[in-house]
Amino acid sequence: MKEDARENGDLVAKGRALSSPLRLRILRLCLHQARTNKEIAGLLEINPASSLHHVRTLVRTGFLEAQEGRKGKRGAKEVPYLATRTSWSTPVDGISPVLIETFVQETRRLAPEDIDVWRLGVKFNTARQQEMMDKLRAVVEEYMHLPADDDGEATSLLIAHHRDPTAD
């Protein structure tokens, strides 16, 4: 019984950790390259103390992992962090608005030609909708499990499926 309560508490803590667009952006920054707190703060244009709070939350919940320390430019020890890639498989209730806000924040400064957006309206029964979503998830998961290309460019993908609010 205690282990179930601990697992439930861990899942709640993980859900809270992933409920922040800023933390999701940190995970994205550390997905393919280990970065220090100072680097993360600089890229996100936030205070390093604020960044450290979020980094520590992600480390504590297992989404970021500290890498071997290194000496910085001034000789001080720096700790780079790398994403563990476990956020994809962590269930979080009500995450859709957070993912959309994260996408908006990440793309806010991009030129329109740097964003490839598709939109499709369909009218399918529940079984066909589920079939479509299962196929899309399978394709995304296939690519998710491939190793990063050394000569690759980091990109991101957002797929959203929702009912048409005007169809009622």
Q: Give the pLDDT confidence of 111-146 residue by residue, as tens digits.
A: 999 999 889 999 999 999 999 999 999 999 999 889
The CATH number assigned to the domain holding 132 equals: 1.10.10.10
- Can you read off the two tokens belonging to residue 39? 């680097």
| Distance (Å, whole) CA 17 – CA 11 | 10
**Residue 165 falls within a domain, yes or no?**
no
Q: Does some domain include residue 149?
A: no
What range defines the domain where residue 35 resides?
Answer: 2-144
- The token pair at 92 is 């979080």
Residue 8 lies in a domain: yes
Q: 120 lies in a domain?
A: yes
Please name the residue ranges forming H helices in 18-158.
21-29, 37-44, 48-60, 96-107, 126-144
Task: Give 132's contacts (C-beta < 8 A, 6+ positions apart).
Answer: 122, 124, 161
How many structural domains are present in the chain? 1
Query: Whole-model pTM?
Result: 0.84
Would you state the structure tokens that stand for residue 28, as one six-digit string?
Answer: 């994205």
